[in-house]
Structure formats: C-alpha cells, structure tokens
Amino acid sequence: MVKMKHKVTFIPGDGVGPELSEAAKRCIDAACASAGAAIEWEAFDAGIDVVEKYGTPLPEHVLASIRKNKVAIKGPITTPIGTGIRSVNVELRKALELYACLRPCKSYKGVRSRYSDVDLVIVRENTEDLYAGVEFESETPESKKVIDTVNSLSKKQVRPGSAISIKPISREGSERIVKFAFDYAVKNNRKKVTCIHKANIMKATDGLFLATARRVAERYSGKVNFEDRIVDNICMQLVQRPEEYDVLVLPNLYGDIISDLCAGLVGGLGMAPGANIGDGVAVFEATHGSAPKYKGMNKVNPTAMILSGMLMLRHLGENEAALKLENAVKKVIADGAHVTYDMKADRNDPTAVGTREMADAIIKALK
C-alpha cells in the first residue's frame, strides 16, 4: 500500500543527462515501490536544447514547477563556453535562493580508490564569496573607478589595469550556512563540524566567516564538536588522514574545490551525489558535468545520479526507500559484475555494462 505520492520536478538535462536521469528515475521508483512510497514526476526540459524555443536555457515554467513542488532532481546540463548563456546550475541557485550545497563523499566497497573508509559531508555556501559574480574587466571605466576608490581608502594599492573580483561574505550568509551544517550534523548523528577558512590572511572576509561559525557553534555545545582549519592545511590533511573529519562547512570557492578533492578520495565524480538546498526548496543533482561526447552511448556511470536520488528520498522523509536504494547500489558495486567501464579494474574490460544495464542490476538488487 502506497503511503503518499510526492510531487517532484524532473529535469532530464542534456548531453548524457537524459540517460543518467532515466536510470535514476527507474531506480528511485523501484525503491519507492519496495517501501510503499511513490513519486509523481513532473517532467520539463532545460538547457541548451531549449534555448531556441524559449530564448533561455531555464524557462520560467521550469522554475514555477520547482517552486510549486518544492523538490526537483535534474540531470547534468551543459554550459556552452564563449557564449552569453549563463550556467543553469548558477541561475537555479540564484532564482531559488538555494544557499546550501550538500555533497556527501563516502567510500563504497568495490570502487577503485586509494582509500577505503572515507565518510565526509561537504556543506558549501552557494551564494556569496568570489562566485557572487561581482567582477570588473581590466581597463574599463568601471574597473578604473573601483581601483581609484580602493586606492583612496587603503594603504595597500591595486595596480592600474587590474581586473577586479569582489569577495562579499556577509554575517547573514555565513550564519545560515553554518547553522545548516550543524543542523545536518544533529539530524544525521554526525559528531563534528569543521569550519574551513583562510582567516589568517583574509582577516575581514574569512575572518567574519570564522567568527560567525564560532558563535553558531556555541549553540550546539555538547551536541556536536567544532573545530576550524585553514584551507591549504585541510587539503593536505584530507589526503593524509580523511578519517579524522566529518562535516566540513566552507565558503563558496573553497567548497567547490574541496568537494572535488573529496570526490577523488572516494573514486571520482561518478560517485559524488549532490543537492542544492534553500528554505523550503531543494534541487538534487550529480556533481559531474554533462559529458556531451558520450551522449547516446549508454556508457556513463549512473551512480552519482542514483545516489542523488537517494539524498532526495531522505529529504522527502522516505528513509526506508533511501536506505534500500543505497544498499542496492552498494551490493551491485561490491559484486562488480554489472558496473560501467570506469568502475572496472581495467577500463577496457569487455564485461563492463552500460548505464541502463547497471540501473537494471540495482533494481534487481532491490527485490
């Protein structure tokens, strides 16, 4: 008996996105069916394939659907290089105020990696820092005005002709992302939150982020441990001793870089699920790109997309379905017979299966 149906916006993406999204959708439906739950999908296209029709890669009706349903899952979407088309991922985060990027990085038996017991959660601030996009090109009237203003206010002078990027970090933005990290830790029985920063050099911006994190941490004293690390130092320590860390909370740029580093610890981006979460709205997606050169080849590893579906099920409160789906993924990967080429010891192994067939194996493992 089905308990209830959850309405979810489904965005297949482009490149290999539709293949991965369909594989994930089938696995999510099977996991829900085994746990007495169900998803009602509301499918819409977005990306470069719809620009000619709508004049934008992110039509308003897609945003309207996500706002209505509160939850979406999307496949990878291509951002063309050298055009005026903005990243759909960035636009989604801005339009829906998805301020928290959640990226778990977890070891699974059977995955090729130098590490075997990694279990990290990256909580990245999504809206501020150098990714806010406040930039001024070199030798423009605007950049000259910014340089003149800065040079009039600071003893440290900016060279004429410099291009300028502004790094805004606010107390409000810092507080909500750190609170998100601690709330996630409490809800998921995690033991420690580590704040990553460069406050020894950037005393105003990263200094504010760290000071705010320390203040928020006081509210969780006795529930979750807290520490901080300088960003270059944490990169070394994650490579040497990843088992010492749990939940990492970071400003935007560091979060982008370190989430890829942590994905490398567990086998690569093909194993890295993700979510972008705001107040009352969440969009789930794999962290890798759209790999257009593999489009239609039924070749790409669907694990990151399927595990993103697992995160979505947890978010919806369907914990039984989420656990069953993760366990099925674990079983297929550990067995090693029905996995894509990148998960084989030899990438040219002729026994490797395609995207669709790996999803079939995961669905079978659910039964």
What residues act catalytically?
131, 198, 232, 256
Q: Which residue has the tokens 């674990």?
A: 330
Question: Looking at beta carbons, which pairs linking 208-212 to residues 24 or more positions away fall under 8 Å?
Answer: 208/169, 208/170, 208/171, 208/174, 209/169, 209/174, 209/251, 212/171, 212/174, 212/175, 212/178
Q: Please state the φ and ψ torsions of residue 122, each to the nearest 5 degrees.
A: -95, 125
Burial 3-17 (b: 16+ CB within 10 A, else e): eeebebbbbbbbbbb
- For the record, the structure tokens of 174 come out as 């810092």
Q: Which residues pair with 106 in a beta bridge?
A: 119
Provide the 3-class DSSP secondary structure of residue 38.
strand
Tokens 């539709």 correspond to what residue? 18
Three-state SS at 215: helix
